[in-house]
Amino acid sequence: MKIPAENLYYVLCYAWERLDRLEAVPDDVRPSAFDLPQNLLARLLHDSFSQVLRRGLDRGYRERAEDTRRPRGKLDLPSTVRRALRLRGQVRVRFEELSRDVLHNRIVKTTMLRLAAVEELNTNLKGKLTRLVQRVADVGEVDLREDVFRRVQIHRNNADYGFLLDLCRMIARHLFPEAHAGAVRFRDFTTDEQEMGRLFEDFVRGFLRTEHPRLGVRGHKSIKWDAAPEGDAVLRLPLMETDIYVPGAADGRSAIVETKCVSEPFAGGGEASSVSLRSDHLYQLFGYLTNHARSCAAEPPALGVLLYATAGTTFDYRYRVHGHPLRVSSVDLTKPWPAVREGLDRLAEALSGHKGPNAQQAVA
């Protein structure tokens, strides 16, 4: 799915819930022309790290060891004796030194180095990233494993690194070495339905939490099966976890939203009469609704929403299935951002129990 650079920027900000980044879109991101995602991420990485550099890189204490004639810090007596340093008039000492060579700076530097090695990256961006790397020669490199990102602690004093590390994690997940030495390939995540599905889910949830906090949107809610094992049944039933859950709204009705990012939101083809909703998506949502109703019998039947990320297609269908109101709607991510935002605001109205505008009953 090709997404305009400005829209992809907003998708990332809401998905990561980086509210401080929503106030102003960088000038080089505003054009709505389609762009390679690695170029957008490189621009954001360069601009964000440049801002941090101007304010001063975060520093931390790192332990160092050296042989010296002027002791400082803690004497390492075993090493001094073992290496016979006193014969040379030296001792081995260990001390802590305030340094820019801390883990989060290493992550950013390594990410810039690897991204600059991507052959398809814009030449101008390659140069900008390389020049930034040269300005942090005192910072080392690190293996960009997932557990490395989890080791970084973001707090008030280094909050500027939050968005930066989100960018680095996104970039690192999609960098792969090529066969010839030194070359790196970036896998376009916008063409991967599974990857975009996760991102779209996080985006919608983050938008609703940020722009419509009164909804009290939750993430994955586990729904219990109305079932009990019989006889020798020892296998567990699969978990039912919603993408987005909205507890009792204005009319006491809760809502379950399942987000989807697929190339074909409908089944069938040819004549309009042969086109139908995808059975796997509908059965999944209906299973959630019916089991939720049995565990929350005092509530009105929950609203179910199938929300699709689309490119150039808009639809909004409404049904009532076994007492449950059901909506099948789209968010066209190729439209200008104000139109995308307006569509999500209408979704929020529906989730809050308010009556929205008339549904569009045909695929546009």
Three-state SS string across the chain, please? CCCEHHHHHHHHHHHHCCHHHCCCCCHHHCCCCECCHHHHHHHHHHHHHHHHHHHCCCCEEEEEEEEECCCCCEECHHHHHHCCHHHHCCEEEEEEEEECCCHHHHHHHHHHHHHHCECCCCHHHHHHHHHHHHCCCCCCCCCCCHHHHHCCCCCHHHCCHHHHHHHHHHHHHCEEECCCCCCEEECCHHHCHHHHHHHHHHHHHHHHHHHCHHHCCECCCEECCCCCCCCCCCCCCCCEECCEEECCCCCCCCEEEEEECCCCCEECCCCHHHCEECHHHHHHHHHHHHHHHHHCCCCCCCEEEEEEEECCCCCEEEEEECCEEEEEEEEECCCCHHHHHHHHHHHHHHHCCCCCCCCCCCCC
Domain match, 91 and 171 both: no
Domain match, 165 and 253 both: no
Percentage of residues of the chain with pLDDT beyond 90: 49
Domain match, 159 and 301 both: no
Answer with the one of 169, 187, 205 that is the final residue of a domain. Answer: 187
Task: Give the per-residue pLDDT at 165.
Answer: 95
Of the ranges 143-152, 295-304, 311-320, which one carries the lowest mean pLDDT score? 295-304
Asked if pLDDT for residue 234 goes beyond 90, the answer is: no
Q: How confident is the model at residue 151 (pLDDT cuts 50, 70, 90)?
A: very high
Task: Give the per-residue pLDDT at 364.
Answer: 37
Asked if pLDDT for residue 274 goes beyond 80, the answer is: no
Task: Give the per-residue pLDDT at 87.
Answer: 80
Answer with the one of 163, 187, 211 that is the final residue of a domain. Answer: 187
Residue 22 included in any domain? no
Residue 250 included in any domain? yes
pLDDT tens-digit readout, 54-95: 999 988 877 777 787 777 777 777 887 788 877 878 888 785
91 vs 15, residue with greater confidence: 15
Task: Give the per-residue pLDDT at 114.
Answer: 94
Answer with the one of 161, 187, 213 that is the final residue of a domain. Answer: 187
323 vs 259, residue with greater confidence: 259
Q: How confident is the model at residue 273 (pLDDT cuts 50, 70, 90)?
A: low
The total of structural domains in the chain comes to 3
**Mean pLDDT score, 161-166:** 93
Asked if pLDDT for residue 331 goes beyond 60, the answer is: yes
Domain span holding position 182: 37-57+101-187
Task: Give the per-residue pLDDT at 269.
Answer: 63
Domain match, 72 and 86 both: yes
Quote the mean pLDDT of the chain.
85
Domain match, 135 and 242 both: no
Task: Give the per-residue pLDDT at 33.
Answer: 44
Residue 30 included in any domain? no
Residue 17 included in any domain? no
Domain match, 260 and 280 both: yes
Residue 9 included in any domain? no
